[in-house]
Protein backbone atom coordinates (compact mmCIF):
# COMPACT_ATOMS: atom_id res chain seq x y z
CA UNK A 1 0.00 0.00 0.00
CA UNK A 2 1.42 3.34 -1.01
CA UNK A 3 0.89 6.11 1.54
CA UNK A 4 2.13 9.67 1.71
CA UNK A 5 0.76 10.45 5.16
CA UNK A 6 -1.35 8.91 7.90
CA UNK A 7 -4.58 9.52 5.99
CA UNK A 8 -3.79 8.94 2.33
CA UNK A 9 -3.67 5.51 0.68
CA UNK A 10 -3.21 4.87 -3.01
CA UNK A 11 -4.18 1.96 -5.20
CA UNK A 12 -0.86 0.44 -6.23
CA UNK A 13 -1.24 -3.02 -7.81
CA UNK A 14 2.50 -3.11 -8.48
CA UNK A 15 3.31 -3.46 -4.79
CA UNK A 16 5.02 -6.76 -3.89
CA UNK A 17 2.49 -9.42 -2.96
CA UNK A 18 -0.49 -7.73 -4.64
CA UNK A 19 -0.89 -10.32 -7.40
CA UNK A 20 -0.78 -13.20 -4.92
CA UNK A 21 -3.29 -11.58 -2.55
CA UNK A 22 -4.87 -8.25 -3.54
CA UNK A 23 -7.60 -8.35 -0.91
CA UNK A 24 -5.86 -6.73 2.09
CA UNK A 25 -4.77 -3.91 -0.22
CA UNK A 26 -8.22 -3.21 -1.65
CA UNK A 27 -9.83 -3.63 1.78
CA UNK A 28 -7.66 -0.83 3.18
CA UNK A 29 -8.68 1.51 0.35
CA UNK A 30 -12.33 0.46 0.62
CA UNK A 31 -12.23 1.49 4.28
CA UNK A 32 -10.18 4.68 3.95
CA UNK A 33 -10.97 6.13 0.52
CA UNK A 34 -13.61 4.07 -1.33
CA UNK A 35 -14.18 6.73 -4.02
CA UNK A 36 -10.58 6.87 -5.09
CA UNK A 37 -8.53 8.98 -7.53
CA UNK A 38 -5.79 6.59 -8.67
CA UNK A 39 -2.17 7.18 -9.58
CA UNK A 40 -3.03 6.34 -13.21
CA UNK A 41 -5.45 9.29 -13.22
CA UNK A 42 -8.65 7.29 -13.18
CA UNK A 43 -11.40 7.09 -10.60
CA UNK A 44 -12.02 3.78 -8.85
CA UNK A 45 -14.98 2.64 -6.74
CA UNK A 46 -14.28 0.00 -4.06
CA UNK A 47 -17.60 -0.50 -2.21
CA UNK A 48 -20.21 -3.00 -3.38
CA UNK A 49 -23.09 -0.54 -3.32
CA UNK A 50 -21.14 2.03 -5.35
CA UNK A 51 -19.94 -0.56 -7.88
CA UNK A 52 -23.45 -1.98 -8.24
CA UNK A 53 -24.97 1.48 -8.78
CA UNK A 54 -22.29 2.41 -11.32
CA UNK A 55 -22.77 -0.75 -13.37
CA UNK A 56 -26.56 -0.54 -13.28
CA UNK A 57 -26.71 3.10 -14.42
CA UNK A 58 -28.12 2.86 -17.97
CA UNK A 59 -26.90 6.34 -18.89
CA UNK A 60 -23.19 5.62 -18.45
CA UNK A 61 -20.97 4.48 -21.29
CA UNK A 62 -18.61 1.60 -22.04
CA UNK A 63 -17.27 3.38 -25.13
CA UNK A 64 -13.70 4.37 -24.25
CA UNK A 65 -13.76 7.04 -26.98
CA UNK A 66 -16.13 9.03 -24.78
CA UNK A 67 -13.55 9.35 -22.02
CA UNK A 68 -11.25 12.35 -21.71
CA UNK A 69 -7.87 11.48 -23.32
CA UNK A 70 -5.11 10.38 -20.96
CA UNK A 71 -1.55 9.08 -21.08
CA UNK A 72 -2.67 5.55 -21.92
CA UNK A 73 -4.44 6.82 -25.05
CA UNK A 74 -1.32 8.69 -26.12
CA UNK A 75 0.82 5.56 -25.64
CA UNK A 76 -1.49 3.46 -27.83
CA UNK A 77 -1.75 6.15 -30.51
CA UNK A 78 2.02 6.66 -30.67
CA UNK A 79 2.83 2.96 -30.95
CA UNK A 80 -0.04 2.32 -33.38
CA UNK A 81 1.33 5.00 -35.69
CA UNK A 82 4.79 3.45 -35.45
CA UNK A 83 3.39 -0.02 -36.22
CA UNK A 84 1.15 1.21 -39.04
CA UNK A 85 -1.96 -0.03 -37.22
CA UNK A 86 -5.22 1.87 -37.44
CA UNK A 87 -6.96 2.14 -34.06
CA UNK A 88 -10.57 1.28 -34.85
CA UNK A 89 -13.07 1.04 -31.95
CA UNK A 90 -14.29 -2.48 -31.25
CA UNK A 91 -17.91 -3.35 -31.92
CA UNK A 92 -17.89 -6.19 -29.38
CA UNK A 93 -20.99 -6.32 -27.23
CA UNK A 94 -18.98 -5.27 -24.17
CA UNK A 95 -17.71 -2.11 -25.86
CA UNK A 96 -20.81 -0.42 -27.30
CA UNK A 97 -23.71 1.50 -25.76
CA UNK A 98 -27.43 1.37 -26.50
CA UNK A 99 -29.03 1.50 -29.00
CA UNK A 100 -26.13 -0.29 -30.75
CA UNK A 101 -25.75 -2.62 -27.77
CA UNK A 102 -29.47 -3.39 -27.75
CA UNK A 103 -29.33 -4.32 -31.43
CA UNK A 104 -26.22 -6.51 -31.00
CA UNK A 105 -27.67 -8.25 -27.96
CA UNK A 106 -30.89 -9.01 -29.83
CA UNK A 107 -29.07 -10.54 -32.79
CA UNK A 108 -26.45 -12.44 -30.75
CA UNK A 109 -29.13 -13.82 -28.44
CA UNK A 110 -30.54 -15.69 -31.43
CA UNK A 111 -27.34 -17.77 -31.43
CA UNK A 112 -26.56 -17.87 -27.68
CA UNK A 113 -29.78 -19.42 -26.40
CA UNK A 114 -29.93 -21.31 -23.08
CA UNK A 115 -30.65 -24.47 -25.07
CA UNK A 116 -27.53 -23.93 -27.21
CA UNK A 117 -25.33 -23.54 -24.11
CA UNK A 118 -26.83 -26.53 -22.28
CA UNK A 119 -26.39 -28.65 -25.41
CA UNK A 120 -22.63 -28.23 -24.94
CA UNK A 121 -22.67 -30.13 -21.63
CA UNK A 122 -21.88 -33.62 -23.05
CA UNK A 123 -18.91 -32.21 -24.97
CA UNK A 124 -17.68 -30.38 -21.86
CA UNK A 125 -18.00 -33.56 -19.80
CA UNK A 126 -16.06 -35.53 -22.40
CA UNK A 127 -13.23 -32.98 -22.52
CA UNK A 128 -13.04 -32.86 -18.71
CA UNK A 129 -12.96 -36.65 -18.40
CA UNK A 130 -10.16 -36.89 -20.97
CA UNK A 131 -8.12 -34.23 -19.17
CA UNK A 132 -8.58 -35.90 -15.79
CA UNK A 133 -7.65 -39.26 -17.29
CA UNK A 134 -4.35 -37.74 -18.45
CA UNK A 135 -3.68 -36.30 -15.01
CA UNK A 136 -4.48 -39.62 -13.35
CA UNK A 137 -2.25 -41.61 -15.71
CA UNK A 138 0.64 -39.26 -14.94
CA UNK A 139 0.00 -39.28 -11.19
CA UNK A 140 -0.54 -35.53 -11.28
CA UNK A 141 0.61 -32.57 -13.31
CA UNK A 142 -0.29 -28.98 -14.11
CA UNK A 143 -4.04 -28.51 -13.71
CA UNK A 144 -3.93 -25.24 -15.68
CA UNK A 145 -2.06 -26.73 -18.65
CA UNK A 146 -4.06 -29.97 -18.72
CA UNK A 147 -7.55 -28.78 -17.79
CA UNK A 148 -8.23 -25.12 -16.98
CA UNK A 149 -6.58 -23.64 -20.08
CA UNK A 150 -7.49 -26.08 -22.88
CA UNK A 151 -11.07 -26.76 -21.77
CA UNK A 152 -12.66 -23.34 -22.43
CA UNK A 153 -10.48 -22.85 -25.51
CA UNK A 154 -11.60 -26.17 -26.99
CA UNK A 155 -15.23 -25.50 -26.06
CA UNK A 156 -15.21 -22.05 -27.71
CA UNK A 157 -13.48 -23.47 -30.80
CA UNK A 158 -16.01 -26.29 -31.10
CA UNK A 159 -18.93 -23.99 -30.36
CA UNK A 160 -17.87 -21.66 -33.18
CA UNK A 161 -16.88 -24.47 -35.54
CA UNK A 162 -13.28 -23.21 -35.75
CA UNK A 163 -10.65 -25.44 -37.40
CA UNK A 164 -8.49 -27.36 -34.90
CA UNK A 165 -5.34 -26.13 -36.66
CA UNK A 166 -6.11 -22.57 -35.51
CA UNK A 167 -5.82 -23.29 -31.79
CA UNK A 168 -2.16 -22.65 -31.08
CA UNK A 169 -1.88 -19.48 -33.12
CA UNK A 170 -5.08 -17.97 -31.72
CA UNK A 171 -3.93 -18.84 -28.21
CA UNK A 172 -0.77 -16.79 -28.70
CA UNK A 173 -2.68 -13.77 -30.03
CA UNK A 174 -5.18 -14.00 -27.18
CA UNK A 175 -2.46 -13.99 -24.53
CA UNK A 176 -1.02 -10.78 -26.00
CA UNK A 177 -4.40 -9.06 -26.32
CA UNK A 178 -5.55 -9.83 -22.80
CA UNK A 179 -2.81 -7.57 -21.44
CA UNK A 180 -4.72 -4.54 -22.76
CA UNK A 181 -7.39 -5.18 -20.11
CA UNK A 182 -4.96 -4.27 -17.32
CA UNK A 183 -5.02 -0.69 -15.99
CA UNK A 184 -1.22 -0.51 -16.28
CA UNK A 185 0.53 -1.63 -19.46
CA UNK A 186 4.02 -1.01 -20.82
CA UNK A 187 5.22 -0.15 -24.31
CA UNK A 188 6.33 -3.67 -25.24
CA UNK A 189 2.95 -5.10 -24.20
CA UNK A 190 1.09 -2.48 -26.24
CA UNK A 191 3.24 -3.22 -29.28
CA UNK A 192 2.70 -6.98 -28.94
CA UNK A 193 -1.05 -6.51 -28.49
CA UNK A 194 -1.39 -4.28 -31.56
CA UNK A 195 0.48 -6.78 -33.71
CA UNK A 196 -1.58 -9.66 -32.32
CA UNK A 197 -4.82 -7.78 -32.84
CA UNK A 198 -4.01 -6.99 -36.47
CA UNK A 199 -3.10 -10.61 -37.18
CA UNK A 200 -6.07 -12.07 -35.31
CA UNK A 201 -8.53 -9.71 -37.03
CA UNK A 202 -7.29 -10.79 -40.45
CA UNK A 203 -7.41 -14.46 -39.48
CA UNK A 204 -10.93 -14.33 -38.03
CA UNK A 205 -12.16 -12.39 -41.09
CA UNK A 206 -10.94 -15.31 -43.20
CA UNK A 207 -12.65 -17.85 -40.97
CA UNK A 208 -15.95 -15.94 -41.14
CA UNK A 209 -15.80 -15.85 -44.94
CA UNK A 210 -15.01 -19.57 -45.02
CA UNK A 211 -17.93 -20.24 -42.68
CA UNK A 212 -20.29 -18.26 -44.91
CA UNK A 213 -19.43 -20.65 -47.73
CA UNK A 214 -19.45 -23.72 -45.45
CA UNK A 215 -22.29 -23.31 -42.93
CA UNK A 216 -22.67 -25.87 -40.19
CA UNK A 217 -24.54 -26.52 -36.97
CA UNK A 218 -22.46 -24.15 -34.86
CA UNK A 219 -22.79 -20.76 -33.17
CA UNK A 220 -20.69 -18.86 -35.71
CA UNK A 221 -23.06 -20.00 -38.47
CA UNK A 222 -26.02 -19.02 -36.30
CA UNK A 223 -24.52 -15.54 -35.75
CA UNK A 224 -23.90 -15.16 -39.50
CA UNK A 225 -27.48 -16.17 -40.22
CA UNK A 226 -29.07 -14.20 -37.35
CA UNK A 227 -31.52 -11.72 -38.85
CA UNK A 228 -34.26 -9.40 -37.68
CA UNK A 229 -36.27 -7.32 -40.12
CA UNK A 230 -33.45 -7.60 -42.65
CA UNK A 231 -30.76 -6.54 -40.14
CA UNK A 232 -27.70 -8.77 -39.80
CA UNK A 233 -24.34 -8.57 -38.06
CA UNK A 234 -21.68 -6.93 -40.23
CA UNK A 235 -18.38 -8.65 -40.98
CA UNK A 236 -16.61 -6.47 -38.40
CA UNK A 237 -19.29 -7.12 -35.78
CA UNK A 238 -18.99 -10.87 -36.32
CA UNK A 239 -15.20 -10.70 -36.05
CA UNK A 240 -15.26 -8.60 -32.88
CA UNK A 241 -17.65 -10.98 -31.09
CA UNK A 242 -15.38 -13.93 -31.92
CA UNK A 243 -12.29 -12.05 -30.69
CA UNK A 244 -14.15 -11.18 -27.47
CA UNK A 245 -14.94 -14.84 -26.86
CA UNK A 246 -11.33 -15.92 -27.29
CA UNK A 247 -9.81 -13.07 -25.27
CA UNK A 248 -12.09 -12.17 -22.35
CA UNK A 249 -14.42 -15.19 -22.49
CA UNK A 250 -11.63 -17.74 -22.50
CA UNK A 251 -9.31 -16.19 -19.93
CA UNK A 252 -11.99 -15.62 -17.30
CA UNK A 253 -13.00 -19.28 -17.39
CA UNK A 254 -9.37 -20.41 -17.15
CA UNK A 255 -8.99 -18.30 -14.02
CA UNK A 256 -12.23 -19.54 -12.48
CA UNK A 257 -11.38 -23.22 -12.97
CA UNK A 258 -7.68 -23.06 -12.08
CA UNK A 259 -7.93 -20.74 -9.09
CA UNK A 260 -11.22 -22.32 -8.01
CA UNK A 261 -9.56 -25.74 -7.73
CA UNK A 262 -6.59 -24.16 -5.96
CA UNK A 263 -8.80 -22.53 -3.35
CA UNK A 264 -10.75 -25.72 -2.68
CA UNK A 265 -7.48 -27.60 -2.18
CA UNK A 266 -6.41 -24.81 0.22
CA UNK A 267 -9.71 -25.13 2.12
CA UNK A 268 -10.16 -28.86 2.76
CA UNK A 269 -13.21 -28.22 4.93
CA UNK A 270 -14.98 -26.62 1.97
CA UNK A 271 -13.83 -29.37 -0.38
CA UNK A 272 -15.21 -31.99 2.00
CA UNK A 273 -18.47 -30.06 2.25
CA UNK A 274 -18.82 -30.26 -1.55
CA UNK A 275 -17.99 -33.96 -1.57
CA UNK A 276 -20.60 -34.60 1.11
CA UNK A 277 -23.28 -32.67 -0.77
CA UNK A 278 -22.80 -32.44 -4.57
CA UNK A 279 -26.06 -30.48 -4.79
CA UNK A 280 -24.00 -27.51 -3.56
CA UNK A 281 -21.99 -27.41 -6.79
CA UNK A 282 -23.89 -24.52 -8.38
CA UNK A 283 -23.70 -22.41 -5.21
CA UNK A 284 -20.04 -23.38 -4.79
CA UNK A 285 -19.26 -21.98 -8.24
CA UNK A 286 -21.02 -18.71 -7.39
CA UNK A 287 -19.07 -18.51 -4.13
CA UNK A 288 -15.80 -19.17 -5.96
CA UNK A 289 -16.71 -16.46 -8.48
CA UNK A 290 -17.22 -14.09 -5.54
CA UNK A 291 -14.13 -15.22 -3.67
CA UNK A 292 -11.55 -15.37 -6.50
CA UNK A 293 -13.11 -12.73 -8.81
CA UNK A 294 -11.55 -13.93 -12.10
CA UNK A 295 -12.23 -10.44 -13.48
CA UNK A 296 -10.91 -8.00 -10.90
CA UNK A 297 -12.26 -4.77 -12.39
CA UNK A 298 -14.56 -3.31 -15.03
CA UNK A 299 -15.11 0.25 -16.23
CA UNK A 300 -17.62 2.90 -17.19
CA UNK A 301 -17.28 6.35 -18.72
CA UNK A 302 -19.11 9.15 -16.89
CA UNK A 303 -21.44 10.89 -19.34
CA UNK A 304 -22.46 13.39 -16.66
CA UNK A 305 -21.11 14.48 -13.30
CA UNK A 306 -21.54 11.65 -10.78
CA UNK A 307 -21.83 11.80 -7.00
CA UNK A 308 -20.38 8.94 -4.95
CA UNK A 309 -19.55 9.10 -1.26
CA UNK A 310 -19.74 12.87 -1.19
CA UNK A 311 -17.26 13.25 -4.05
CA UNK A 312 -17.97 14.50 -7.56
CA UNK A 313 -16.66 12.49 -10.52
CA UNK A 314 -16.64 14.84 -13.53
CA UNK A 315 -18.31 14.01 -16.82
CA UNK A 316 -15.86 12.34 -19.20
CA UNK A 317 -14.01 10.54 -16.40
CA UNK A 318 -12.87 6.93 -16.75
CA UNK A 319 -14.26 5.09 -13.70
CA UNK A 320 -13.02 1.67 -12.63
CA UNK A 321 -15.51 -0.61 -10.90
CA UNK A 322 -13.37 -2.68 -8.54
CA UNK A 323 -15.29 -5.95 -8.78
CA UNK A 324 -12.96 -7.95 -6.55
CA UNK A 325 -13.20 -5.37 -3.78
CA UNK A 326 -16.99 -5.25 -4.10
CA UNK A 327 -17.15 -9.04 -3.87
CA UNK A 328 -15.26 -8.93 -0.56
CA UNK A 329 -17.16 -6.00 0.95
CA UNK A 330 -18.34 -6.92 4.49
CA UNK A 331 -21.12 -4.35 4.20
CA UNK A 332 -22.65 -6.68 1.59
CA UNK A 333 -21.37 -10.14 2.46
CA UNK A 334 -20.98 -9.81 6.21
CA UNK A 335 -18.02 -10.26 8.55
CA UNK A 336 -16.99 -13.47 6.75
CA UNK A 337 -16.63 -11.73 3.37
CA UNK A 338 -12.93 -12.67 3.20
CA UNK A 339 -13.68 -16.33 3.89
CA UNK A 340 -14.64 -19.09 1.43
CA UNK A 341 -18.02 -20.59 2.32
CA UNK A 342 -19.68 -22.68 -0.37
CA UNK A 343 -22.91 -22.72 1.66
CA UNK A 344 -23.05 -18.92 1.75
CA UNK A 345 -26.54 -17.53 1.27
CA UNK A 346 -26.55 -14.81 -1.35
CA UNK A 347 -23.28 -15.92 -2.97
CA UNK A 348 -24.92 -15.39 -6.35
CA UNK A 349 -25.20 -11.66 -5.66
CA UNK A 350 -21.53 -11.26 -6.61
CA UNK A 351 -20.61 -8.91 -9.46
CA UNK A 352 -17.96 -11.18 -11.00
CA UNK A 353 -19.75 -11.00 -14.36
CA UNK A 354 -20.86 -7.41 -13.89
CA UNK A 355 -24.53 -6.48 -13.67
CA UNK A 356 -27.07 -4.49 -15.61
CA UNK A 357 -27.14 -3.95 -19.36
CA UNK A 358 -23.60 -5.22 -19.91
CA UNK A 359 -23.87 -8.35 -17.77
CA UNK A 360 -21.61 -10.90 -19.44
CA UNK A 361 -23.30 -13.01 -22.11
CA UNK A 362 -20.72 -15.72 -21.41
CA UNK A 363 -21.70 -16.18 -17.75
CA UNK A 364 -23.86 -19.26 -18.28
CA UNK A 365 -21.19 -21.01 -20.36
CA UNK A 366 -18.44 -20.20 -17.85
CA UNK A 367 -20.58 -21.54 -15.00
CA UNK A 368 -21.39 -24.72 -16.94
CA UNK A 369 -17.71 -25.41 -17.64
CA UNK A 370 -16.70 -24.66 -14.05
CA UNK A 371 -19.44 -26.84 -12.55
CA UNK A 372 -18.35 -29.80 -14.67
CA UNK A 373 -14.58 -29.24 -14.37
CA UNK A 374 -14.36 -28.38 -10.66
CA UNK A 375 -17.06 -30.83 -9.60
CA UNK A 376 -15.47 -33.71 -11.51
CA UNK A 377 -11.96 -32.83 -10.34
CA UNK A 378 -12.72 -32.83 -6.62
CA UNK A 379 -14.74 -36.03 -6.86
CA UNK A 380 -11.93 -37.88 -8.63
CA UNK A 381 -8.98 -36.39 -6.75
CA UNK A 382 -10.19 -35.30 -3.30
CA UNK A 383 -6.76 -35.88 -1.73
CA UNK A 384 -4.68 -34.09 -4.36
CA UNK A 385 -1.81 -32.02 -2.98
CA UNK A 386 -0.50 -28.75 -4.41
CA UNK A 387 3.18 -29.10 -5.32
CA UNK A 388 3.70 -25.75 -7.04
CA UNK A 389 1.51 -22.77 -7.91
CA UNK A 390 2.10 -19.43 -9.62
CA UNK A 391 -0.19 -16.58 -10.60
CA UNK A 392 -0.26 -15.17 -14.14
CA UNK A 393 0.84 -11.67 -13.09
CA UNK A 394 -2.23 -9.97 -14.56
CA UNK A 395 -3.90 -7.17 -12.67
CA UNK A 396 -7.38 -7.62 -14.13
CA UNK A 397 -7.86 -11.17 -15.39
CA UNK A 398 -6.06 -12.57 -12.35
CA UNK A 399 -5.60 -16.31 -12.04
CA UNK A 400 -3.12 -19.14 -11.97
CA UNK A 401 -0.56 -19.63 -14.70
CA UNK A 402 0.55 -22.90 -13.13
CA UNK A 403 -1.01 -25.27 -10.61
CA UNK A 404 1.02 -28.46 -10.23
CA UNK A 405 -0.60 -31.19 -8.15
CA UNK A 406 0.27 -34.66 -6.95
CA UNK A 407 -2.59 -37.14 -6.87
Mind listing the pLDDT tens digit for each residue in 75-107? 999 999 999 999 998 999 999 999 999 999 999
What integer is the mean pLDDT of 35-62? 95
Q: How many domains does the chain have?
A: 1
pLDDT at 122 over 50: yes
Cα distance between residue 405 and residue 378, in whole Å: 12
Closest alpha carbon to 357 in 52, 58, 51, 48: 58
Residue 16 lies in a domain: no
Q: Pick the residue with more confidence: 295 or 361?
A: 295
Residue 17 lies in a domain: no
pLDDT at 365 over 50: yes
Residue 65 lies in a domain: yes
Contact (CB, 8 A) for 112 and 104: no
Q: 21 pLDDT band (50/70/90 cuts)?
A: very high
What integer is the mean pLDDT of 383-404? 96
Q: 165 pLDDT band (50/70/90 cuts)?
A: low
Closest alpha carbon to 352 in 270, 292, 281: 292
Residue 6 lies in a domain: no
Each residue of 322-336: pLDDT tens digit? 999 999 999 999 999
| Residue 170 confidence (pLDDT) | 86
Q: 5 pLDDT band (50/70/90 cuts)?
A: very low
Residue 71 lies in a domain: yes
Q: 4 pLDDT band (50/70/90 cuts)?
A: very low
Q: 295 pLDDT band (50/70/90 cuts)?
A: very high
Q: 7 pLDDT band (50/70/90 cuts)?
A: very low
pLDDT at 212 over 90: yes
| Residue 162 confidence (pLDDT) | 84
Beta bridge partners of 403: 389
pLDDT at 168 over 90: no
pLDDT at 174 over 80: yes
Q: Is the dihedral of CA 288, 291, 296, 301 positive or negative?
A: positive
Residue 216 lies in a domain: yes
Q: What value does the mean pLDDT of the chain take?
A: 93
What integer is the mean pLDDT of 336-358? 97
pLDDT at 133 over 90: yes
pTM above 0.75, yes or no: yes
| Residue 3 confidence (pLDDT) | 41
Residue 183 lies in a domain: yes
Closest alpha carbon to 330 in 18, 15, 17, 27: 27
Domain that holds residue 135: 23-406
SS3 of 115, please? helix
CATH code of the domain covering residue 234: 1.10.630.10
Q: DSSP class of residue 319?
A: E
| Residue 18 confidence (pLDDT) | 96
* CA quadruple 168, 179, 347, 45: dihedral, nearest 10: -170
Most confident of 129-138, 199-208, 223-232: 129-138
| Residue 113 confidence (pLDDT) | 86
What integer is the mean pLDDT of 147-151? 96
Residue 105 lies in a domain: yes
CA distances (Å), 65 to each of 43, 61, 81, 89, 143, in order?
Answer: 17, 10, 18, 8, 39
Closest alpha carbon to 350 in 32, 55, 25, 26: 55
Amino acid sequence: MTSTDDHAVFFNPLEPGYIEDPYPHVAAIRAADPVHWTLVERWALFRYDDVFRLLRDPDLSVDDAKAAPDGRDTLFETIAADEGVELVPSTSILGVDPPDHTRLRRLISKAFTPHTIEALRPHVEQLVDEALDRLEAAGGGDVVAELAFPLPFDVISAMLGMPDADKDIIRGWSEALVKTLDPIIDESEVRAALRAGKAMDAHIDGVVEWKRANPADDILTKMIEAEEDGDRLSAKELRDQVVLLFVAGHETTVNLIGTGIYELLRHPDQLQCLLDDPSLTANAIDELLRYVSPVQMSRRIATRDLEFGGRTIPSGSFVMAMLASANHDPEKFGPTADELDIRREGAGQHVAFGTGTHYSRGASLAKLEAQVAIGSYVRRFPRAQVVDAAFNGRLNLRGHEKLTVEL
